[in-house]
Chain A
Amino acid sequence: MSLPARYLDPIGRNIIRFLQTAQGLIAFTLITLGVAVTKFNASTRVIHPLVRSQIYRAGLRLLPMISFLACALGLMIIGQMVALLTRVGAQNLAGTVMVTVVVRELGPLAAALVVLARVGAAYVIDLGTARALGEVEALEALCIDPVHYLVIPRITALALAIFSLTVYFIILTLFSGYLFAFAQDVPLLPGDYCKQLAMALTWEDFALLALKTCSFGIVIAVVTCYQGLAQPLRLEQVSAATTRAVVQSVVACVLLDVLFIVVYLVM
């Protein structure tokens, strides 16, 4: 094999694999969207409890973990940043920097990554195992739409859970960060700090925060459900599918984040 062909072959294979994955993900998203619309109010006695249990799994059960991360990041990053800004006489910029760092970037990404690690990966294992053990076939035999029963509750739950966890994370981070700064004798009164935050926040921040976090939830749920469900898996393939799903979810979230940064810059 000639030298260029040796390098071009793997590149070509990777491009084709990427395109196939993208095609599969888009098709799966469209199917899910179709099911969500056509079965919007169907079988609520089964679907609503599933959504609630998934919200508990992806939201409430992650509160201790998110609390720990928010306090730690608040102390490490925000506290030090406020102290530094004060030292250079720029404490009046604290609110703006907070909003940019925590509200726009750190909060949504941190919540999404925690949910991906704790719940998204488990989704692939759950669904991949269910598929490998024939549970999905059994659902079909009972005329239960697997996308309706397995995917829709997870998408709804992850969108709501990441949004709620992000709001909780932001509040706790800003609070713990200020506590650290206060402990370092930074001359910034709580009232001034809150006023700066309020001045720096705009309605676009709230709207885009909701949109961004829900998008993260939807993307993570679609990718993990696709990897677990959309292809026939044998038990030994589940771990590889989990790794693939985590990597693809991280990449998708980062790309989505870049898109939102562009939106912020344009606005």
Chain B
Amino acid sequence: MTAASPTGEVPAAQPATAVIEMIDVSIGGAGVVETVSAEGIHCHIAPGDYWVIGGPPGSGKSDLLATMAGLYRPLKGTLRFFGNDIAHLGEDAFLTARLRMGLVFGNGGQLFNHLTVAGNIALPLRYHHARQRVATEERVQAILEATGLAPLADHTPGEIKHGWRQRVGLARALALGPEVLLLDNPLAGLGPKESRWWLEFLAQISAGDEILGGRPVTLVIASHDLRPWFEQGKQFALLRQKRWLPVGGRTELACSDEPLLRELLAADFGAGRTVGS
């Protein structure tokens, strides 16, 4: 219910504070200042959104996600986390904001090879929370079971297949209970069955899953193949020739005659098989 003001006027409904907001942002290639990876990025990612960002390989999607996760500072423009401009955030506040976001790397999850699967998931918990060993183990076990990784808990990343490694990357990002999850090409190199698991699991956590306290998680996916995400995503955008191109919802996606969009919805780039390929 919206409360009336003392003058009796009902204030206009305010849009929900964006979890991530970018205003005319330019990003650097792998954080390098000299190279502009993409520019003119405007986006307003609201809580509970399901964004899918498409673009051919090498279009700067990974750099964009890394910037959204706070790993790199934008070269230009304004980046806001949960309504706060990161340029004005102190170190502690910036860290607190970043802890509310999780990043799942593509290409095998960039796991810590010296740790087991369970160790990879436990590391952020042990580092950030001075909780009891039992509580940490319970949390790790819950995540392992939710992601189907329990049988591989004691294996090191080198001993498991690519698809499982990717899933460990997801489990590790879930450990701290993020409110926003950024995923870089999560279906690359996965078979149909594995891809289906990912789509179902992401739909589940987007709607609110027990593993994250029942709270809906905001999802931002970057992919070079939009086919699997057509039914899942709520908001779509493209990175084309270093420029940000907002598309809109599913209806706009279906109606658009943008050639790159048709390409991303029709063919894959041979970098990985996905559902339907």
Most buried by A among B71, B109, B126: B126
In the assembled complex, B40 has its CB within 8 A of some CB on chain A: no
Residue among A46, A138, A143, A144 making CB contact with B111, cutoff 8 Å = A138
Nearest A residue to B115 via CB reads A135
For A45, the closest partner residue in chain B by CB is B126
Interface of chain A, main secondary structure: helix
Beyond A133-B113, A135-B110, A135-B112, whether A141 also contacts B127 by CB under 8 A is: no
Tell me whether A45 and B130 are in contact (CB under 8 A): yes
What 5 pairs between A and B have smallest CB-CB spacing? A134-B110, A138-B110, A141-B103, A142-B124, A43-B127
Q: 7 A-B contacts, Cβ less than 8 Å apart?
A: A133-B110, A138-B105, A138-B110, A138-B112, A141-B105, A142-B172, A144-B123
* Contact for A46 among B30, B66, B126, CB less than 8 A: B126
Least distance between A53 CB and chain B CB atoms (Å): 10
In chain B between 195 and 238, which residues have their CB closer than 8 angstroms to a CB of chain A? none
Distance in angstroms from A129 CB to nearest chain B CB is 8
B128 within 8 A of A: yes
Q: Are A143 and B95 in contact (CB under 8 A)?
A: yes
* Bound form: Cα–Cα A149–B123 in Å: 11
Chain A interface extent, by class:
10 to 19
- For residue B99, CB closer than 8 A to chain A, the reply is yes
Whole-angstrom distance between the Cβ of B68 and the nearest chain A Cβ:
11
- B98 adjacent to chain A (CB < 8 Å): yes
A137 touches B113 (CB 8 A): no
User: Is B69 close to A, CB under 8 A?
Assistant: yes
Q: A232 to B128, alpha carbons, bound, how many Å?
A: 26
What residues of chain A lie closer than 8 Å to B124, measured between beta carbons?
Answer: 142-144
Q: How far is the CA of A232 from the CA of B29 in the complex (A)?
A: 13
Q: Tell me the nearest residue of chain B to A136, going by C-beta.
A: B110
Distance A138 CA – B103 CA, assembled complex (angstroms): 8
Partner of A137, one of B71, B98, B128: B71
CA distance A144 to B126 in the complex (A): 11
User: Which residue of chain B lies nearest to A53 when distances are taken between CB atoms in the complex?
Assistant: B114
In the complex, what residue of chain A is closest to B69 when comparing beta carbons?
A141
CB-CB under 8 A from A43, the residues of chain B are 126-128
Q: Which residues of A contact B103 (CB under 8 A)?
A: 141
Decide: A143 and B98 in contact? CB cutoff 8 A.
yes
Q: Judge if A192 is at the interface, Cβ distance under 8 Å.
A: no
- Docked CA distance A140–B72 (Å): 10
In whole angstroms, what is the CA distance A134 to B130 when docked? Answer: 27
Bound form: Cα–Cα A142–B104 in Å = 10
8 additional A-B pairs beyond A134-B105, A141-B66, beta carbons within 8 Å, are A43-B126, A43-B128, A46-B123, A134-B110, A137-B105, A139-B112, A142-B172, A143-B95
Which residues B75-100 have CB closer than 8 A to chain A? Answer: 95, 98-99
Residues of B with C-beta under 8 A to A133 = 110, 113
Taken together as a complex, chains A and B put the C-alpha atoms of A108 and B132 apart, in Å, by 41
Asked if A149 and B127 make an inter-chain contact with CB atoms under 8 angstroms apart, the answer reads yes
Q: How far is the CA of A140 from the CA of B102 in the complex (A)?
A: 11
Q: Report the minimum CB–CB distance from A17 to chain B (whole Å).
A: 21
Q: Which residue of B is nearest A38, CB measured? A: B91
Interface members, chain B 140-181 (any A CB < 8 Å): 172-173, 176
